[in-house]
């Protein structure tokens, strides 16, 4: 395996890291010389100290985020936030992972949390453009008290990102960090056949090249191509970040510039990003007026692989890597024209070599974000606040296929002289957010009250257009320039042109009130009214609310002598949130809106020789899905704060679920997408712990163990058909009080030693070769929500040497391994590679085996069984860091304030029953996908 190293010219290639101060204010602390700073947490549209908050949150700081080798910051949080399941599902650089907070509540609609970056609500697409080294903290809000303040967008949780800022009265500070890394493919356990083994198997079955060879000829075969190594090549990553911050008495400023270049394992994939961020904060001399202006610019180029997770033998590069016969050599490739003369499946890797060279798909994105906020203290207890935020994204897609490509030749029409195509597409997305708020805060002796009222407006607009030119002149065509297009009245060369426009508005007003008595007891109430343009006028408005309370037990007089308890708080909340995105995307279900009936003339004869109508009935009563949320929890710090943690019990129930409801075909369609009586309940427990095993200031040594875990139980109620069985061949089973869409399968028992057929379990528990529908059984887990999620790790520091680790785990989740199914399919022999386990298949002389006969007569039952339905639970060493902070006395007298060197690895090892390349996925079934890579990096961080 050859690794080509390409780096921007720099003096050294190392990493950056940060130290954090994790201390809180309390009445009893055994470390008097350590400065105590009470932690601040987000509680909705404002912040509160941790001791006065009634909310359930999970938070990580910059020390856990910065300098990790991920293009998307959300991947960094895997395993570090209790109750939050983050799944990538692809190795495509820049891909956005899916995040689920406390289980999925919607069946067809959006299950993605709301993302708020420096006060600006947005979507997950924002994180492809954010430099992780600009982030100060990431916090996930999970309970009703915090979420109801976000009304019709808070049902799935809220992820709050705060970027870095300078401080007042600080000097000028510079920082530079760089990292360089190499990515490699994770290992599989499929036991693939090499050339001689595959040829031997072909000879036994009388198929393919091996059918005509003798054993001696097979032994003489010298071509043994590792197609995984050919298509998935080791790739490089590099990043460079420079920042400067400064602050005077009334003004401070933080500016950063970043560059990232990550190449993908597939040579056609990669991502380059240039980012610029500036955060300016100011205040008046009397501190009555405060303002902030944040600006972020980014330019991103993303090249993608197409047709992943598909069976396209001429389209999916991952299929070529995984299934190509090893006795085919890359040197057999000549040209697309040569392949077109013999387009047999055995030539799959050659088809894909051609595509690798003659096809490209890329997206260039330019983005600008502006976040502004100003506040004025009208009276000592009354403050007015306004925010105005804006995002503009311009995306240019360029997809082309060369005229001489194999696919161009293969699909050319009769008499078509000019082949190939090029698509140029442009999308412009504009988002605007405006907030106006009044806050009143007053203390009366031991009593404190706070009241806030606000209105908010959110606007999102999309304009997109696309043109595909069919037929390119190889003499004059240059990709992306518009040259070489064939101008003709011939239908073969006419361009396909499309355009789209959508607009989405939200208008809201809300109020918040909180009360505190002596810092011991607190109550918080919220109410919010929202209107969405997604619904008809009569259903546009919805009301959401919450009530929360806390009891700071450790501040009671009876706790004074309980010296081992530093802080103990019990809290709880109940309330409602909404989900107005009844289909996942923010611009989905808008054009046309789903409360309207739509009709379209069919493209051809529908009734005899006449045209007909395509009918799509809308639901006039379309409205929000509403989530009821109940949470009870406790926060604690014990034994001189060496043991810290949170424990929560929750139940969230989603109602008015949007789902196809059966109706008579006489109405024009057999189902109507509408709000139904289905309820989806997610209930569970969460625990987050950290314990300082060693905390020795004299020896300059610390060792902290940390971990979090959550168990979530999903159930559905009020299903209109109980049980509800969906699917045709592969089926799912839903029943009231049980999981939604649990796999409904035959239980596979193994091989019949008498004839090599497959054996399945019948309803009465006896083996059978011919199962019926009565033998189908639902399983205890499904594909949507893992039962258990969490992570753990340790942080060790000794005299500047540090070792940090993070493990994450997922358990109680099924997925179909269709890659394994393909490797065990004897019908692929002669065209594709398979597992060499098939050499041990049942024969009359080999009856003691777990591999069915290659000619088994009942394989048709296999796809409805659990043979390739795998428990995809896993434990992964997500990140391991080893580094050294140069002592301050060594740097004394130089311009360098701090210097840190670090090496680290991502996705280092996985323990799982899953035999494939990557146990992590957000799909119910995996086949021919793009695995996430294993990454090794080296870097430096210097401040001066």
pLDDT digits (tens, 9 = 90+) for 230-278: 999 999 999 999 999 999 999 999 999 999 999 999 999 999 999 999 9
Domain boundaries, the chain: 40-176+235-741
Which DSSP string do the residues of 560-605 spell out, in sequence order? Answer: TT-TTEEEEEEEEEEEEEEE--SSSSTTTTBTTBTTS-EEEEEEEE
Instruction: Tell me the β-bridge partners of 754.
Output: none
Buried b (16+ CB within 10 A) or exposed e, 568-604: bbebbbbbbbbbbbbbeebbbbbeeebbeeeeeeeee
Question: Does residue 34 register a pLDDT over 80?
Answer: no
| Separation of CA 850 from chain center | 37
Instruction: Tell me the β-bridge partners of 100.
Output: 85
Question: Token pair of 336, please?
Answer: 């697309």
User: How much is the pTM?
Assistant: 0.89
Give the confidence band of 28 by pLDDT, cuts at 50, 70, 90.
very low
What percentage of residues in the chain have a pLDDT greater than 70? 94
Pick from 127-131, 363-367, 374-378: least confident: 127-131
Average model confidence (pLDDT) across the chain: 90
Give the confidence band of 623 by pLDDT, cuts at 50, 70, 90.
very high
Question: Does residue 816 register a pLDDT over 60?
Answer: yes
For the segment 638-652, the average pLDDT, to the nearest whole number, is 95
Give the confidence band of 124 by pLDDT, cuts at 50, 70, 90.
confident
pLDDT at 39: 67
Torsion angle, alpha carbons of 183, 187, 190, 191, to 10: 110
Give the confidence band of 66 by pLDDT, cuts at 50, 70, 90.
confident
pLDDT at 606: 55
**Contact status, residue 362 vs residue 397, Cβ threshold 8 Å:** yes
pLDDT digits (tens, 9 = 90+) for 528-567: 999 999 999 999 999 999 999 999 999 999 999 999 999 9
pLDDT at 31: 37
d(CA 412, CA 406): 10
For the segment 424-444, the average pLDDT, to the nearest whole number, is 95
Q: Which of 159, 146, 154 is nearest to 546 (CA)?
A: 146
Half-sphere exposure of 469 (CA within 13 A, CB side): 22
Question: Does residue 13 register a pLDDT over 50?
Answer: no
pLDDT at 88: 86
> CB-based contacts of 823: which residues, under 8 Å, 6+ apart?
190, 192, 833, 834, 835, 837
pLDDT digits (tens, 9 = 90+) for 319-367: 999 999 999 999 999 999 999 999 999 999 999 999 999 999 999 999 9
CATH second-level architecture of 40-176+235-741? Beta Barrel (2.40)
Question: Does residue 711 register a pLDDT over 80?
Answer: yes
Question: Does residue 407 register a pLDDT over 60?
Answer: yes
**Contact status, residue 673 vs residue 658, Cβ threshold 8 Å:** yes
* Residue/partner pairs of 326-334 with CB below 8 Å, 24 or more apart: 326/193, 326/194, 326/195, 326/198, 326/223, 326/224, 326/225, 326/226, 326/227, 326/833, 327/195, 327/198, 327/199, 327/209, 327/221, 327/223, 327/224, 327/225, 328/223, 328/225, 329/223, 329/225, 330/225, 330/230
Q: Which of 695, 745, 696, 738 is nearest to 718 (CA)?
A: 738
- What does each C-alpha distance from 560 to 23, 35, 122, 215, 555 come to in angstroms? 21, 22, 46, 86, 8
Q: Which of 594, 547, 587, 591 is nearest to 571 (CA)?
A: 547
pLDDT at 609: 59
| Separation of CA 661 from chain center | 30
Question: Does residue 16 register a pLDDT over 50?
Answer: no
- How many of the other CB atoms lie within 10 Å of CB of 167? 12
Question: Does residue 759 register a pLDDT over 50?
Answer: yes
Q: Which of 778, 694, 767 is nearest to 742 (CA)?
A: 778
């Amino acid at each position: 395996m050859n690794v080509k190293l390409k780096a921007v010219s720099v003096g050294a290639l190392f990493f950056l890291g940060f130290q954090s101060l994790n201390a809180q204010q309390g009445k009893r602390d055994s470390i008097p010389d350590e400065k105590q700073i009470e932690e601040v947490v987000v509680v909705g549209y404002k912040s509160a100290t941790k001791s006065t908050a009634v909310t359930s949150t999970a938070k990580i700081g910059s020390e856990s985020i910065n300098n990790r080798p991920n293009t998307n910051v959300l991947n960094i949080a895997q395993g570090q936030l209790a109750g939050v399941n983050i799944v990538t599902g692809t190795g495509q650089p820049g891909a956005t992972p899916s995040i689920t907070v406390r289980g999925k509540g919607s069946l067809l609609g959006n299950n993605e949390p709301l993302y708020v970056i420096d006060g600006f609500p947005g979507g997950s697409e924002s994180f492809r453009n954010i430099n992780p080294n600009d982030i100060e903290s990431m916090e996930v809000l999970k309970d009703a008290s915090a979420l109801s303040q976000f009304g019709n967008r808070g049902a799935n949780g809220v992820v709050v990102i705060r970027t870095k800022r300078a401080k007042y009265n600080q000097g000028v500070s510079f920082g530079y960090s760089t990292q360089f890394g190499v990515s490699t493919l994770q290992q599989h356990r499929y036991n693939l056949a090499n050339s001689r083994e595959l040829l031997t198997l072909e000879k036994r079955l009388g198929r393919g090249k091996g059918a005509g060879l003798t054993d001696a000829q097979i032994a003489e075969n010298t071509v043994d191509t590792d197609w995984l190594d050919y298509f998935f090549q080791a790739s490089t990553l590099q990043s460079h970040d420079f920042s400067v911050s400064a602050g005077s008495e009334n003004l401070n400023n933080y500016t950063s510039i970043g560059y990232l270049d990550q190449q993908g394992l597939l040579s056609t994939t990669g991502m380059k990003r240039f980012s610029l961020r500036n955060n300016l904060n100011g205040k008046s001399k009397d501190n009555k007026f405060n303002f902030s202006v944040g600006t972020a610019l980014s330019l991103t180029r993303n090249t993608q692989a197409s047709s992943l997770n598909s069976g396209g033998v001429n389209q999916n590069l991952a299929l070529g890597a995984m299934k190509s016969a090893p006795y085919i050599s890359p040197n057999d490739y000549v040209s697309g024209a040569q392949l077109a003369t013999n387009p047999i499946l055995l030539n799959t890797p050659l088809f894909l070599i051609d595509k690798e060279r003659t096809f490209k798909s890329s997206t260039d994105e330019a983005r600008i974000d502006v976040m502004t906020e100003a506040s004025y203290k009208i009276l000592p207890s009354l403050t007015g606040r306004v925010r105005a935020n804006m995002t503009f994204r311009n995306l240019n897609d360029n997809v082309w296929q060369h005229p001489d490509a194999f696919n161009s030749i293969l699909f050319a029409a009769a008499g078509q002289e000019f082949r190939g195509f090029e698509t140029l597409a442009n999308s412009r997305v504009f988002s605007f957010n405006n907030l106006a708020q009044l806050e009143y805060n007053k203390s009366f002796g031991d009593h404190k009250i706070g009241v806030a009222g606000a209105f908010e407006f959110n606007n999102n607009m999309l304009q997109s257009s696309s043109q595909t030119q069919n037929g390119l002149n190889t003499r004059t065509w240059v990709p992306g320039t518009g040259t070489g297009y064939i101008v003709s009245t011939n239908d073969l060369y006419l361009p396909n042109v499309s355009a789209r426009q959508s607009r989405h508005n939200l208008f809201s007003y809300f109020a918040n009130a909180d009360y505190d008595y002596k810092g011991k007891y607190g109550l918080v109430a919220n109410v919010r009214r929202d209107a969405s343009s997604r619904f008809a006028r009569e259903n546009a408005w919805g009301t959401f609310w919450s009530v929360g309370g806390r009891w700071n037990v450790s501040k009671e007089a009876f706790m004074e002598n309980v010296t081992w308890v530093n802080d103990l708080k019990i809290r709880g909340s109940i309330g409602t949130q909404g989900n107005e995105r009844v289909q996942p995307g923010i611009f989905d279900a808008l054009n046309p809106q789903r409360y309207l009936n739509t009709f379209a003339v069919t493209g051809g004869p529908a009734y005899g020789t006449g045209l007909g109508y395509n009918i799509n009935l809308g639901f006039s009563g379309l409205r929000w899905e509403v989530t009821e949320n109940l949470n009870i929890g406790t926060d604690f710090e014990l034994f001189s704060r060496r043991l810290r943690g949170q424990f929560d019990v929750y139940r969230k129930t989603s109602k008015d679920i949007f789902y196809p409801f059966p109706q008579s075909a006489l109405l024009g369609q057999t189902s109507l997408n509408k709000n139904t009586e289905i309820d989806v309940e997610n209930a569970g427990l969460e625990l987050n712990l950290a314990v300082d095993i060693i905390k020795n200031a004299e020896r300059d040594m610390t060792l902290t163990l940390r971990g979090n875990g959550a168990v979530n139980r999903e159930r559905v109620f009020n299903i209109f058909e109980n049980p509800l069985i969906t699917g045709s061949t592969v089926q799912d089973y839903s029943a009231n009080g049980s999981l939604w869409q649990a796999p409904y399968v035959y239980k596979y028992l193994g091989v019949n030693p008498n004839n090599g057929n497959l054996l399945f379990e019948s309803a009465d528990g006896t083996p059978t070769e011919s199962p019926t529908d009565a033998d189908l059984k639902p399983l205890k887990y499904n594909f949507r929500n893992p039962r258990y999620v969490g992570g753990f790790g340790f942080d060790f520091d000794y005299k500047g040497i540090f070792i940090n680790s993070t493990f994450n785990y997922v358990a109680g989740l099924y997925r179909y391994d269709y890659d394994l199914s393909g490797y065990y399919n004897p019908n692929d022999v002669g065209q594709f590679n398979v597992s060499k386990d098939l050499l041990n298949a049942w024969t009359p002389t080999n009856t003691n085996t777990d591999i069915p006969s290659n000619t088994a007569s009942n394989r048709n039952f296999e796809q409805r069984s659990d043979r390739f339905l795998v428990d995809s639970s896993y434990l992964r060493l997500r990140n391991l860091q080893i580094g050294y902070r140069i002592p301050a006395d060594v740097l004394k007298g130089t311009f360098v304030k701090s210097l840190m060197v670090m090496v680290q690895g991502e996705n280092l090892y996985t323990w799982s029953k899953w035999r494939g390349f990557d146990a992590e996925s957000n799909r119910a079934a995996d086949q021919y996908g793009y695995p996430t890579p294993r990454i090794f990096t080296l870097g430096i961080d210097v401040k001066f």
